[in-house]
Amino acid sequence: MTWLTPWVGAIAAAVAVPTLLILYFLKLRRRDVEVSTTLLWKKAIQDLQANAPFQRLRKNLLLFLQLIVLGAALFAVAQPQFKGATTKGQRHIIMLDRSASMQALDAPSPSGAPRPVQRLEAAKKEAIDLIDSLRESNAFQPNVADEAMVIAFDTTAEVVANFTSDKGALRRAVESIGATDGGSSLDEAMRLAQAHAPRRIVEGKAVEGLSSGEPVSMHLWSDGSIPDASRVLPGVENEVTYHVVGKDVTANIGITSIRAERDFENPTHLTVYISIQSTDDRERAFDVELSVDGLVAGVKSVTLPAVAPLPELTEEAAQAGPAPERAPAATGGVVFAFNQPEGAIITARLRTGGEDDPQADVLRVDDRASIIVPPAKRLSVAIVTRGNLFIQTALGGLPLARLVTFTPEQFQTELDQRRTREFDVVILDSWLPRVAPGETLPPGRWLVFNAVPGGTLGMVDGGVGESALFVDWAREHPVMRGLVLDNAVIAQSRRISIPEGNPVAVLATMSTGPAITEVITPEARAIVVTFDIAQTTWPFDVSFVVFSASAVTYLGADGSDPSTQRMLKPGGVLADGLPIGVTDPILIEPDLRETALVLAPDNRVTFGPIRKAGLYQVKWSGAATDPGATRPLRTYAANMTDPAESDVRALPKLVLASRTVLAEQEGKILDRRLWPWLLLAALSVLMFEWYVYNRKVYY
């Protein structure tokens, strides 16, 4: 135990204790009065009079209690404390992980109750304990107060309280943090801390950030489910304390993906694919329930194996790299197939049991996922070409409602007379329609071969280039998913440059530059193949047919993958274009709260970041509705579906870019102040002394 102001307490004791004792030594001056008897006065006067100065003190309960009260107060003035962990500097950054995995119910209850609590609640309690232990300034030491900043993070980070020594403000900031259903990004939180670190003077120069000359103590509360931890650079001189929350062995089952596909031949036939993950060290059997627009459409039983233990680390594996911290989670899935010609909200729910036993499944937010499926539709497609057998053959086998071929002159006439809106997708072969100066493409959905849309939002054509090969492509994009382009040879490429700031996404790259791009304007969307497919071997590969079908389907669905249309993830932003003519758009959140949205000039609305999983709806006024819709309303599904967050096994250490930080198992607290407890004890004894005094005087 140490003392912050021992000499102040000693001086106060040297004055106060003798003063109290002298009050009991002093002889009272009384005048003589004759009375008939002293029988009734004897007891009352006995404890109040002193026959002579400096006499031996008698046994006196009141004096004993007053000495206890005075001693407790004097000890409080000296500010005793239990010395805690040693930290660097007077500034502390408190980082609280509020991602989805922090909702797991496996943290010990701070009150000692047998039922576990949410990880975030336990983390907030420990953070408040840290805040209470920070040093405070006083009249004798005005510059010793610690300052702290509070940052909450998931996929994004937020400063909840900037650097301050106001403990009340820091406590309120921590208590205001709520869990979200998003992922986790520590790198974002670290960069935010660096941006808000105060300026310091080092060698006569003002510098900013965490490396500003004065060390900062960083306290991180998390379960370790941080995918980007290896990119975090906290600064060499700064201390990092990792407060692990949760258990390293815990059971959770969650949905990690949901996807729906319509059959090419029979679009009314819908198949729903659901992937599931388990972290249980036992084999788990459970049911998966599928509902369509709220009505149960089917239930299937699934059994996932137990998580296999980590294999022994061999010498070869040790040389190859660091050993994994935990064994891979067990994975599986289930498939539902049924006829669904209409659009619908498809929801999958896990029936894991254990509703009264959180240890059977500690995280509930990943037990449900939804997907918005559009109505079955056969597309109308137009081909504008002077004769391209490859394109006509590839599209001829698709189950389209209509496939019409035009020459460029015929289509330009149809376009000028506005008779092309009946086509969902138009394919342009080595030709582009006339547009106004500065425009890129007319309104519509376009698949372009061997032509480069320009304008203010397009690309710059640098002319014909040499032969090339595909180097890389966006394998996660709906158009490029499942393609293998390694064997395609491009005999005559095209040199393309994309001005900075243009909304052009590169979907595939060849050795000479962009090969396939996506161009998006307020009224048009296009997939552009920049080279002449007749000068390549690509049309002879099955990947060309798959690409053509995927591109037409993607564009026909208004730029959305039909299996993930209107899908969101917590942490992302809802952004969509509404029909022309709508007014007063309003967002309805899963908890039925309504938020007015701002309608941009191009009829787009945005909202975010999304914090919670569930169904979001956008409604508006006006007569405009989506095709096939009966009312002005759109629904969006936000799902957690994150394998990293569903794996709730807490990690015992964090591997950062510059160091490895071991978890503080018991919570790292600074100095523990004792003076508040001493004052509370003094007040309690003082109340008892008042009771004893009144008993002596009045009874």
pLDDT > 90? residue 308: no
pLDDT > 50? residue 156: yes
pLDDT > 70? residue 432: yes
pLDDT band at residue 378 using 50, 70 and 90 as cut-offs = confident
Q: Range of 38's domain? A: 2-81+676-698
Residue 241 is assigned to a structural domain of this protein:
yes
Q: What is the CA radius of gyration of the chain?
A: 37
How many domains are contained in the chain? 5
pLDDT > 70? residue 482: yes
CA–CA gap between residue 663 and residue 682 (Å, rounded): 39
Regarding predicted confidence, which is higher, 53 or 444?
Answer: 444
Q: Do 333 and 393 fall into the same domain?
A: no
Residue 340 is assigned to a structural domain of this protein:
yes
Please write the tens of the pLDDT for every residue from 641-668: 999 999 999 998 888 888 888 887 554 4
Q: Do 451 and 365 fall into the same domain?
A: no
Residue 193 is assigned to a structural domain of this protein:
yes
Q: Do 114 and 208 fall into the same domain?
A: yes
CATH (domain of 273): 2.60.40.10
pLDDT > 90? residue 368: yes
CATH (domain of 237): 3.40.50.410
Q: Do 621 and 662 fall into the same domain?
A: no
Query: Please, which residues bridge with residue 489 across strands?
Result: 469
Please write the tens of the pLDDT for every residue from 540-585: 998 999 899 889 888 887 554 444 457 888 988 888 877 777 888 9
Among 625, 590, 566, smallest CA distance to 260 is for 566
pLDDT band at residue 603 using 50, 70 and 90 as cut-offs = confident
Residue 319 is assigned to a structural domain of this protein:
no
Residues 420-435 have a mean pLDDT of: 90
Residues 485-489 have a mean pLDDT of: 89
Residues 617-638 have a mean pLDDT of: 76
Regarding predicted confidence, which is higher, 290 or 360?
Answer: 290
What is the pLDDT at residue 625? 63
Last residue of a domain, one of 508, 524, 556: 556
CA–CA gap between residue 495 and residue 465 (Å, rounded): 6
Q: Do 106 and 201 fall into the same domain?
A: yes
CATH (domain of 441): 3.40.50.880
Please write the tens of the pLDDT for every residue from 171-208: 999 999 999 999 999 998 988 887 776 555 445 554 44
Regarding predicted confidence, which is higher, 33 or 25?
Answer: 33
What is the pLDDT at residue 82? 56
What is the pLDDT at residue 261? 84
Regarding predicted confidence, which is higher, 235 or 271?
Answer: 271
Q: Do 444 and 505 fall into the same domain?
A: yes
Q: Do 414 and 496 fall into the same domain?
A: yes
Residues 135-152 have a mean pLDDT of: 75
pLDDT > 70? residue 621: yes
* Percent of the chain at pLDDT exceeding 90: 34
Strongest mean pLDDT among 63-67, 451-455, 628-632, 683-687:
451-455
Alpha-helical runs (H) found in 107-185: 119-132, 167-175
249 phi, psi to nearest 5 deg = -125, 105
CA–CA gap between residue 116 and residue 131 (Å, rounded): 23
Residues 152-162 have a mean pLDDT of: 93
Q: Do 13 and 147 fall into the same domain?
A: no
Q: Do 210 and 303 fall into the same domain?
A: no
pTM over 0.75: no
Evaluate whether 27 touches 50 at the Cβ level (below 8 Å): yes
Q: Do 260 and 240 fall into the same domain?
A: no
Q: What number of residues does the chain have? A: 699
Give the number of other CB atoms < 10 A from CB of residue 75: 20
CATH (domain of 576): 2.60.40
Q: Going by C-beta distance under 8 Å and a sequence separation of 6 or more, which residues neighbour residue 432?
A: 441, 448, 451, 453
CA–CA gap between residue 604 and residue 202 (Å, rounded): 49
Please write the tens of the pLDDT for every residue from 397-411: 777 888 999 999 999
**Residue 494, helix vs strand vs coil:** strand
- Looking at this protein, which amino acid is placed at residue 562? P
Evaluate whether 227 touches 203 at the Cβ level (below 8 Å): no
Joined together, the tokens standing for residue 608 give 């975010």
Least confidently predicted of 255-259, 391-395, 470-474: 391-395
